[in-house]
Structures are given as C-alpha cells and as structure tokens.
Amino acid sequence: GQQLNQSPQSMFIQEGEDVSMNCTSSSIFNTWLWYKQEPGEGPVLLIALYKAGELTSNGRLTAQFGITRKDSFLNISASIPSDVGIYFCAGRNFGNEKLTFGTGTRLTIIP
Amino acid sequence: KAGVTQTPRYLIKTRGQQVTLSCSPISGHRSVSWYQQTPGQGLQFLFEYFSETQRNKGNFPGRFSGRQFSNSRSEMNVSTLELGDSALYLCASSLVPASDEQFFGPGTRLTVL
C-alpha cells in the first residue's frame, strides 16, 4: 500500500537536545497527523494539522503542515527521557478516508 | 473511562491455522478500525467498521476479514496463516468514521511459526 517517507528512521540524542523529523509524500494531503507510540502501547495522537503552512504546538512539540501539502515536520524542543518512543506521521488526502502512515522515527535518549 | 481493549495480547500460531482477534472500543464509540504494524511496513490500514458495516478496506488479501457486533465490539479473522502475517495488530476506535480523533488499543502481537 501507499506509504509516507519518514526520516530519519532513528535518532540517538542527549537529554536537552532539540529533535527534528519530517515526512514526505508523492501525493497531496489535506490532513497531517503526528502520533507517538511507546513500548507495549498503541499510538497516541499528538498534533493534527489541516491547513497548508499551519504551525501548531503541543507543549514542547511543534508541527508544521508543509506549503506544498506534500510534507510535514515535527520538532521537539529540550528533549526529556519520557520523549522516548516511535513517532509516526499520518496523512489523509481528499476523497480518501483512509489514513496513510509513515514508517516511524524511533527516538532514543542517551543518558 | 476505559480505553480500547484488545484480546488476546499475545498469540502464537502455526502456518495454515486461523486466528480471531477481538477489540472492545471505548464506550460510546461506534467506529472501529484495524491496522497491521510490522517493522518494515509501519502501520497498514486493514478495514474500518461502523454500525456493523464495513466502510473501508485496505489492500490486504481476502484471508483477512472482520466484523462488528451491535455493541460495537469488533473481531478480525485471519485464515490460512502465513509467516508474513506475524505482526502487531492494532485496533482504534472513534465516535464517528474517518475521524482524526481515534484512540488505539495496545494491540495483539501475533507470531506465526
């Protein structure tokens, strides 16, 4: 099935560092979502974006809906140990109710 | 309010067998979606049910099927299991179909030997 290209696949950072990840698609999307999944649990919605150029924050997390409508970005500022997990982007395009997910970015924080 | 529950949490089967997984949505949620999660492919949409009717279906073979009951609980079935069916199967519930506000369960880890 269709997939979104998410990068990087994994990140190893130190506590306190900022994190950036992105998601790109060959198709235009009208909705971008960002999820976080922790071990043994299902994904949890972090941020939803609905308009090209939109910048939305949720605490230390900030996500942007790319102007081309083919990409989205997630930034985490001043990372803390509980940020560890897998971050997924997901998109939905016009006329298609199904969500397409990225392959995930695994975030590890080095003590 | 209880979250989405999935049973069993872990399952080991052998090739050729069939398996049934269960999902109980959040109380009041009538839409249930199923996803397959594998390390290489990420989350792949299987199907979505609302009011006991399948509304959407992903690109999976007919061996994968599902249903929804009048109390909104849902089951998915995989027949003639293959090694490649080993995955985490996630269920998500929402108030209405195609909602961005969907809540995932912890998943059922299926291992096919």
Instruction: Compare A13 and B2 and report the one with higher pLDDT.
Output: A13
**What's the pLDDT band for B46 if we cut at 50, 70, 90?**
very high
Please name the member of B56, B92, B105 whose beta carbon is closest to the beta carbon of A98. Answer: B56
- Averaged pLDDT, A56-73: 96
Per DSSP, what are the bridge partners of residue A75?
A20, A62
- Averaged pLDDT, A78-96: 92
Distance from CA of B16 to the nearest CA of A (A): 24
Rounded-to-integer distance, Cα A51 and Cα A39, Å: 31
User: What is the number of H-type helices and E-type strands within chain B?
Assistant: 0, 11
The pLDDT score that the predictor gives to residue B102 is: 92
- Put simply, the answer to whether A100 touches B45 (Cβ < 8 Å) is yes
Q: B107 is written with which tokens?
A: 């998943």
In terms of CA atoms, which chain A residue is nearest residue B104? A42
The pLDDT score that the predictor gives to residue A48 is: 96
Contacts A–B by Cβ distance under 8 A: 57
Tell whether the model's pLDDT for residue A93 goes beyond 70: yes
Tell whether the model's pLDDT for residue A27 goes beyond 70: yes
**pLDDT tens readout for residues A29-38:** 999 999 999 9
